[in-house]
Amino acid sequence: MPSPLADPVKLPCGLVLPNRLSKAAMAELMAKTNHPTDNLLDAYEQWAQGGWGSILTGNIQIDVDHLGSPYDTAMHAEYTGDTALVSQWKKYADTCQKHGTPAIAQLCHPGRQSFRVAGRRGIFAQTLAPSEVPVRLGDGLLQRFVAALAWTAPREMTRADIERVIRQFVDCARLMADAGFSGIELHGAHGYLIDQFLNSKTNLRTDEYGGPPEKRARFVLEIISEIRKVVPAKFCVGIKLNSADHSSATFEDTMTQIKLLADAGIDFMEISGGTYEDPKMMGWPESSPPATKSERTAAREAFFLEFSKEVRRRLPGLVLMLTGGFRTRAGAESAIHDNACDLIGIGRPAAIDARFPQLLLDESVPDEKAQLPLNKVSPPFFTRFLPLNIVGGGAESTFYANQIHRLAKGIATYVPAL
C-alpha cells in the first residue's frame, strides 16, 4: 500500500506540493557576503534532487543591518525592481526548483535576537523589538554576562520603525515572487521579531500593536495583508509559529492569534517552537517536565504533536506542517494518520541525507530501515560552564550547518557520535 506521505497536497492558493515531505528551514551559515553564494546553491542542488514535496530555504533576513547570524542571506536595500538583483535571486529559486519541487523562501527579522556580530548596524547599536525586554539566559551572574556579551539591549520600535519593517517584509516577498520562488514563509517562531510581537512576555506595548492577543497580532496581520497586494494570486504565503512559548494561562491567546492568521488567508502554518532562551526546536533542554507531555506523545517522534492536533481540532481547514523530531517513516505516517498535520517538516535528517524522502517513500524498504536516527550533539568540553540551553542548541545548529557544507561540496556527511 502506498504511503500517505506520497499524497500530493494542494494549498489554498492553488500551489500543489507533490508529496507531504518538506525540507525544513535550517541555518546554512554559507552567505559570507549575505548574498546567495555558489556554495549555498550547491547545497540546494542536492536537495532539489531529493524527491521533496517542498523545499523551505533557511533564513532570508529582510534587513542586512539585523541578521540572525553573520552568514544569513539578506536584503541589502529597498527593492525597486532591480533586474540584476532579481537575476541573482532567480538563480537560487531556479536551483531549488530545477527538478519540479516548489521552493518557499523563509523571510525573517531577528528583532532582539540579532547577535552583536550579526548585521551591519555595528556591535554597540541597539536591536529592534516591540518592547525593551532583553534576551535572558537565566538569573545567574554568568548567564546575565553571556547574554549581555551576545546581544545589545533592544529599543522599543516606534511607529515609523514598524512601518519600515513591514515595508521590508513586503519588499522581500515581492523580490522572491519576481525571482520565481513558489511562495514565502514568514518566520513567526523561535523568538524572532514577529514572535516577539505575538508574545505577551516580550510585547508590553500599550498602543495598537500591544495589549490583548488581537492587537499583538496586528503587526503580522498587516504584513500578510500588504504582501497579498503585491504578489501573484497563486503565490504561497505561509507562516511558522511557535507552540512552545505558551503556558496554560496564555494558551487561549495563542489560539485566538492562530484563528486570526487563518482568517487572514495564510496557505499553511508550520508548527515549531523554542527561542534562543529555550531552544526546544533543537531538542534542548534534553528533557521536559513530565507534566508537559502525555506518555503517548513522549513515545512519538514529533516535538509539538499535541499542540498541532489541538490546532487541527479547532481549525480543520488550515493546512498544517509539523516540524521537529521526525526520524522515521512510521513516525511521520503516524502523525498523518492521527490527522495531526498535512505536511511533515524534516530538518536535521535532510542535512545528513539530501535524498531522505526517497528512502521514506520507497515501498520496497521495510519500516525498520526507513529511518535516520540521530544522537544528540555533544557541546565542546570548554563550554561546560556556559548556559546549557544555548550551548546545546548552538552545538546542534553548528554541527548540522557543517553537514550542509559537506553536502554542498559533495563530501560524505556523518551523524553525531555517541
Report pLDDT digits (tens) over 117-163: 999 999 999 999 999 999 998 888 888 898 899 999 999 999 999 99
pLDDT band at 243 (very low <50, low <70, confident <90, very high): confident
The cell for 310 is 489541538
Whether the pLDDT of residue 282 is over 50: the answer is: no
How high is the pLDDT of residue 248?
66
Least confidently predicted of 55-59, 288-292, 356-360? 288-292
303 vs 54, residue with greater confidence: 54
* Mean pLDDT over the full length of the chain: 91
What separation in angstroms does the CA of 190 have from each of 73, 161, 320, 393?
A: 18, 21, 17, 12
pLDDT band at 244 (very low <50, low <70, confident <90, very high): low
User: Can you tell me the mean pLDDT for 75-81?
Assistant: 94
pLDDT band at 273 (very low <50, low <70, confident <90, very high): confident
How high is the pLDDT of residue 139?
85
Contact status, residue 321 vs residue 269, Cβ threshold 8 Å = yes
User: Can you tell me the mean pLDDT for 355-378?
Assistant: 95
Q: What is the pLDDT of residues 9-52, one digit of tens each?
A: 999 999 999 999 999 999 999 999 999 999 999 999 999 999 99
How high is the pLDDT of residue 294?
43
> What type of residue sits at position 256?
T
**What contacts 191, CB < 8 A, 6 or more positions away?**
111, 113, 135, 202, 242, 245, 274, 275, 276, 277
**What contacts 49, CB < 8 A, 6 or more positions away?**
99, 354, 355
pLDDT band at 295 (very low <50, low <70, confident <90, very high): very low
How high is the pLDDT of residue 284?
44
Whether the pLDDT of residue 382 is over 60: the answer is: no
Whether the pLDDT of residue 395 is over 90: the answer is: no
* 312: helix, strand or coil: helix
Whether the pLDDT of residue 180 is over 80: the answer is: yes
How high is the pLDDT of residue 287?
40
Contact status, residue 279 vs residue 392, Cβ threshold 8 Å = yes
CATH of 4-408, picked from 1.10.10.60, 3.40.640.10, 1.10.10.10, 3.20.20.70, is 3.20.20.70
To the nearest whole percent, how much of the chain has pLDDT over 70?
Answer: 89
Whether the pLDDT of residue 247 is over 90: the answer is: no
pLDDT band at 396 (very low <50, low <70, confident <90, very high): confident
How high is the pLDDT of residue 299?
37
Whether the pLDDT of residue 291 is over 60: the answer is: no
Q: What is the pLDDT of residues 105-117, one digit of tens each?
A: 999 999 999 999 9
How high is the pLDDT of residue 297?
41
**pTM of the predicted model over 0.85:** yes
How high is the pLDDT of residue 149?
92
Contact status, residue 352 vs residue 401, Cβ threshold 8 Å = no
